[in-house]
Structures are given as structure tokens and as C-alpha cells.
Amino acid sequence: MFSKILIANRGEIACRIIRTAQRMGIRTVAVYSDADRHSLHVRMADEAVHIGAAPSAQSYLVAERIIEACRATGAQAVHPGFGFLSERSAFAAALEAAGVVFIGPGVKAIDSMGDKITSKLLAQKAGVSTIPGFTGVIEGPDHAVAIAREIGYPVMLKASAGGGGKGMRIVRSDAECREGFQRATNEAVAAFGDGRVFAEKFIEDPRHVEIQVLADKHGNIVYLGERECSIQRRHQKVLEEAPSPLLDEKTRRAMGEQAVALARAVDYCSAGTVEFVTDQQRNFYFLEMNTRLQVEHPVTEMITGLDLVELMIRVAAGERLPLKQKDVKLQGWALEARVYAEDPFRNFLPSTGRLTRYRPPLQTPHVRVDTGIEEGGEVSMYYDPMIAKLVTHGATRAEAIARMQDALDAYYIRGVSHNISFLNAVISHERFRDGRLSTGFIAEEYPDGFHAGDVPREDPRLLIALAATVHRRFQDRAARLSGQLQSHERRVGTDFVVIVDRVHHPVHILPLDGGFDIRVDDTEYRIVTAWHMGQPLLKAEVNGERICAQVDRVGLRYRLAHRGSQLDALVVTPTAATMERLMLAKQAPDLSKFLLSPMPGLLKRLAVKVGDEVKAGEELAIVEAMKMENSLRATDDVKIGRILANEGQSLAVDQPILAFE
């Protein structure tokens, strides 16, 4: 077994690998860029080596610096995690030449499966079901249209070297095909340095189901069940679960056996994932093979009891797999939610900055948090904005979902925007709970984006009662302050008015042992809680049911959040409430005369100039963010008055680009 390994990655996956290595008694080496100098993975490792500037192309993607770090520290092996160099065969070969073990598959497997065209041909040869399509390289827009017509619309255009949703377009007409080919090619060049694009039939109402395989160097290969990853936004996974609510045992076995056959065909060794697109009738087709550890591997670990990172390390060290296929038992259900620093109410724009408060839910045998950040840490503009992966387990799918809801309620993040309200909305959706999933779920259920009205609405009186509880605790503390004038001590009343969106809710509150009896309008609540000022989480028993809500003080108001809903409440005396009715509402500024950048990014192109008259729907500019091109279009007929930003300029969120006359 290795005595020291280097983790060629950052963030949550680096921390996750370090934890397993430490448990195995293996010393660890972290690498870091300028932006990650003070990151959690650097402090967790036994040693850390600086490898370059913040952009990944100048640090985490520079193989020579990783290898030099191995030489300098004496690391015997490298775990690449996922992303960055994890699927670069040249990196694996360079490590081998340097006498360092790559904790992953061999060069042959990476090369064979890294190219979508080659992998599809190999899958066909290995007897794996594949989607009809054109596996050659498309030569241009006209060629793309000719191929699409032959296959039959709808067609998926894909970058051959692609991944992570980049370089992919679904096209349903000749016009969409021409534009989609150009966009896919541009994104492929920007993200992978390889503009090759191929085409295949798009399966209507598809589901994304993948098989986890594990192989050693002695010819032993097993599959560890499946993961359903159909809840995606722009081809990037949001929620994953294991097992899939779609599959039966017969289909699971067939998919698993095909995945093993493909792994055997390329002499696979290590953990890997064979992804399938599946229709609603359980017909499945090979999509691609990921020759690395997957982001969503924890759900498989939760239902199998296995540590995939440990098994990868042991296999890389030459050990045999400790289990056969008959030993693989799936226990219960697991669900993973990707917690991102993004604003779901602003089209999921990435949010960067410092985590001023960060309290993940308490980890238990049924709740797991994989994170690479802590309170005071920074979400950088240079890398993926994932904060953590939240994983829950239950005996049933319903129990795993219920535990996920509770864990999301207890996940307290401040300083950056986050997607917890969106995650709560998805897992609360009737269609999700019924298991009626597809990769189009988010686009179909939230066609105009995610808005406050899409958050499942609970009875607001519950949060109003909690606001009254918080306020009463504040008032009770104020009444106990020393030095009050005798006979004029502060007395706390029993009647208040809670104002929400200028609607007045009369509240009557009476203290009881450990809590309060509260009447909101005509509804009674008994709230028992040990909450005190300063605690961000209000854990209480409300009418006998345990809940957890988040509490913030915003000016004179209390902001409460529960199950994705948020409520700002002003709690005042009846007299003050009468005065509040006379207050004027502040009007928001008119920004309709400006085109604002919806995200931090690069102004790739301006499509207009001063004086142009533009019709609604026409393109105004392209902003590149996270290597994705985002087209900004006019929502109304406008005339361009001023250009406020230049091509090639870095933009902040809400920075003006154009002014309209």
C-alpha cells in the first residue's frame, strides 16, 4: 500500500479523498493555486504544494507541475478526483513515465472512452445498446443539416471531446441545426480545444441512468447498481439518487452486464461509470463512459456501504477487489443534492464571494455533507461554484426525501446566493415524489425560469407564529435588563401585529413552560423551543411536530426560512401597526432602459452599435461565463443609445452593457 499520495484536485472532492486516505493511514499531499492558498483541502492535507496562478489553465491543468510536486514530496501515487486532469490520458502516461501510479484506469481505457465517437463504436462492438446517429466528424453547418435530416429531428449535436453539458445542443429544425452547430463548435473549442462535433438521435422524454463499475488489475469487474441523474439543468446534474425509481431487477441486471462488458473490452481498471439514456419504457442506450470517480458517487456508497475512493486506491496498489457480484447488496435509498453558489431567481447565475456564515446540517449515519469550504471561505470566480454535496439515506425513497428536506432546512449559508430554495422546490414537487422523471423535468416544470411563486407555499401563519416567538424572546430579554427605573420597568404585552408584505396579522402570545401558546388570526399554535438570540436555526416543536427554520435579523424585521419559503416579518405593537398603515412604499428604480449583465463573465461580442433599431428577440450581446456562451436578446423593440462596455471586457453582475433611448 502507498505511504503517500497526492490529490491533483481542489475543493470538496480533494477533502473527501484526503479523509479516506487518512483513515487508511496514508499521508496526503494537496496542491493549490493562488486562489486556494487558504482553502480547506490545503489545511487538511499533511503537505501542500503551490502550483500556479488562479486560472485552472495555469495551475490545476498543468500536468508538469503536478508531476514536479510528486517528485518534491515523494508521493507514490496521484488521485485526480474528477474534472481537471482526471480523464487526460497524457497525464496518466506522464505519471507512469515518472514512476508515479495513477489512481484510475489505464491509458487505453481513457483514450477509448474519452472520445464519444470512438467509445460509441467500441460499445457497439462489445454488444452494448447504442443510439442511432452519425459517428463521423461533422464538417460544417450544411453537413450538419444533411445528417440531421437523415437521422430525423430532433437531433442532439455533441462535442466529441465534451462533458459537463458543454458543446451540446438539441436541434429540431434546419435553422436550429445551423446555429446549434456553430454554438456547439465554439463551446467545444473554448472548453476542450477540440471543435469536433457529432450527431445522434435525441430520445424524447429521456432519463439519465448510469451504472457504477469497479474493476481490478486481475480481471475482476463488478457493477454496483445504478444511479438516476435525470434532474438536470442545461445538461448539468442537480439531484441524483440510487437506485432509480424506473428500473426493475431485470433491466438493472441487463444494464449492469452491458456496462461490465464494455469495461472488459477496454481492459478497465478502477472505478468508472457507464452512462445510459433510457426511455420511459426502460429501453436503454449507451451514452458515454466516464473513466473517473463521479461527482454523485456518494449515493452509491450510501446504498452499498462501500468506500469507492478506498477501493480505487487499493486497486491502484495492485490489490484484488474484496467482493464478487453476488456480494453486492443494495440497501435502502439515497438522494444527493448539489448545493451551488448561484441565484435560482436570476436564472441560476453563479454567485461569488465570501461565506460570512456557514453551518452545514449535522452529519449522521443518514445525512452526509461533502464540502470543501467553511465559514469565512470564498467561492471563487475561477472554479465551479459548488459549495457542497448533501446526501441523505432512508429505508425508502420517501424517507430519503423527507430527510433531505430536513437537512436543507438546517443548511445555513450567508454571504453568497445559493440554490437551497430551488432544491427544496424540486424534491417537494409531486412529479418528483412520484418518480416521473426525465432530463426535461426542470425545463418543463419551470419553463420561464424559477421564481418566488414556484417555491411550495406553506401556510404563512406558521412562519408568522415563529416570528412572534422570536420577537417575544427579544422582548423578554430587553425586559430583564438591569438599571431600569423603579416602577417604570419594561413590561411585555401579549398582543402584537405581524406585518408581512403590508398585510397585518393580529397575534396573541402567552408564555408557557419552555415556549408559547400563540394565536395567529384564528389559528392556534403551541411552540416549544430552547431557541435563544444569536442562534441562526430555530428548532422547535410546533403542535407536536418537530421543525427547523432559519432566522435572520434584517433591519427591524425578522427573516424566516423553512422548506424553501422565505418570509420577512415586522412585529410591532397594535399602536405601531396603526402608524405603519400611513407609511409610503418605496418605489424601485427603473432599469428598463439598460441591458445589464446577468452574470459575472466576459463580454465576448456586441451584436449592435449606437443608433441601431433592434426588434424584440434579436441578439444584443454574448457573455461568456463558466466557458458557456450566453446570448442576451432584446425583450422589446429598442433603439441603442449608448455602448457602456467593450468587447473583451470582464463584467460584474448587473453591470450595464447598453443603454436604450
pLDDT surpassing 90 at residue 38: yes
With cut-offs at 50, 70 and 90, classify the pLDDT of residue 453. Answer: confident
Domain hosting residue 211, numbered range: 111-131+206-331
**Are 19 and 98 contained in the same domain?**
yes
**Are 576 and 653 contained in the same domain?**
no
pLDDT at 452: 85
Q: What are the residues facing 289 on neighbouring strands?
A: 274
In a domain, 575, yes or no: yes
**Are 212 and 286 contained in the same domain?**
yes
**Are 116 and 221 contained in the same domain?**
yes
**Are 354 and 418 contained in the same domain?**
yes
For the stretch 188-228, pLDDT in tens is: 898 888 899 999 888 889 999 999 999 999 999 999 999 99
With cut-offs at 50, 70 and 90, classify the pLDDT of residue 380. Answer: confident
More confident residue, 216 or 133: 216
In a domain, 452, yes or no: no
pLDDT at 396: 98
In a domain, 585, yes or no: no
Residue 95 sits in a domain whose CATH number is 3.40.50.20
Return the C-alpha cell found at 598. 446577468
With cut-offs at 50, 70 and 90, classify the pLDDT of residue 551. Answer: very high
pLDDT surpassing 70 at residue 449: yes
Contact status, residue 422 vs residue 456, Cβ threshold 8 Å: no
pLDDT above 70 coverage of the chain, percent: 99
Please name the residues in contact with 228: beta carbons below 8 A apart, sequence gap of 6 or more: 207, 208, 209, 240, 241, 242, 243, 244, 245, 246, 437
pLDDT at 353: 85
For the stretch 236-257, pLDDT in tens is: 999 999 999 999 999 999 999 9
pLDDT surpassing 90 at residue 166: no
pLDDT at 620: 94
Long-range contacts of residues 93-101, Cβ cutoff 8 Å, at least 24 apart: 94/63, 94/64, 94/67, 95/67, 95/70, 98/67, 98/70, 98/71, 100/67, 100/70, 100/75, 100/76, 101/2, 101/76, 101/77, 101/316, 101/317
pLDDT surpassing 80 at residue 490: no
In a domain, 453, yes or no: no
pLDDT above 90 coverage of the chain, percent: 79
pLDDT surpassing 70 at residue 8: yes
Query: Among the listed ranges 150-154, 356-360, 468-472, 589-593, which one has the minimum average pLDDT value?
Result: 589-593
pLDDT at 133: 85
Show which of 175, 201, 227 is a domain's final residue: 201
Q: Is the peptide bond before 456 cis (omega within 30 degrees of 0)?
A: no
pLDDT surpassing 70 at residue 331: yes
More confident residue, 73 or 590: 73
In a domain, 609, yes or no: yes
What is each CA distance from 72 to 49, 400, 424, in whole angstroms?
9, 45, 46
**Are 323 and 213 contained in the same domain?**
yes
pLDDT surpassing 90 at residue 600: no
Contact status, residue 661 vs residue 641, Cβ threshold 8 Å: yes
Contact status, residue 518 vs residue 505, Cβ threshold 8 Å: no
**Are 327 and 228 contained in the same domain?**
yes
pTM higher than 0.75 = yes
Average pLDDT over residues 484-492: 80
With cut-offs at 50, 70 and 90, classify the pLDDT of residue 325. Answer: very high
In a domain, 519, yes or no: yes
**Are 548 and 560 contained in the same domain?**
yes
**Are 563 and 546 contained in the same domain?**
yes
In a domain, 511, yes or no: yes
The count of structural domains within the chain is 6
Residue 277 sits in a domain whose CATH number is 3.30.470.20
Contact status, residue 601 vs residue 652, Cβ threshold 8 Å: no
In a domain, 277, yes or no: yes
Active-site residue set: 288
Query: Among the listed ranges 54-68, 160-174, 464-478, 570-584, which one has the minimum average pLDDT value?
Result: 160-174
**Pairing status of strand 638-643 against strand 523-529:** unpaired
Q: What is the mean pLDDT of the chain?
A: 93
Q: How far is CA 164 from the centre of its chain?
A: 12
pLDDT at 627: 61
pLDDT at 70: 98
Q: From the CB of residue 434, how many other CB atoms can be counted at a distance below 10 Å?
A: 9
pLDDT at 164: 67
pLDDT at 152: 87
pLDDT at 459: 83
Please name the residues in contact with 356: beta carbons below 8 A apart, sequence gap of 6 or more: 375, 376, 414, 415
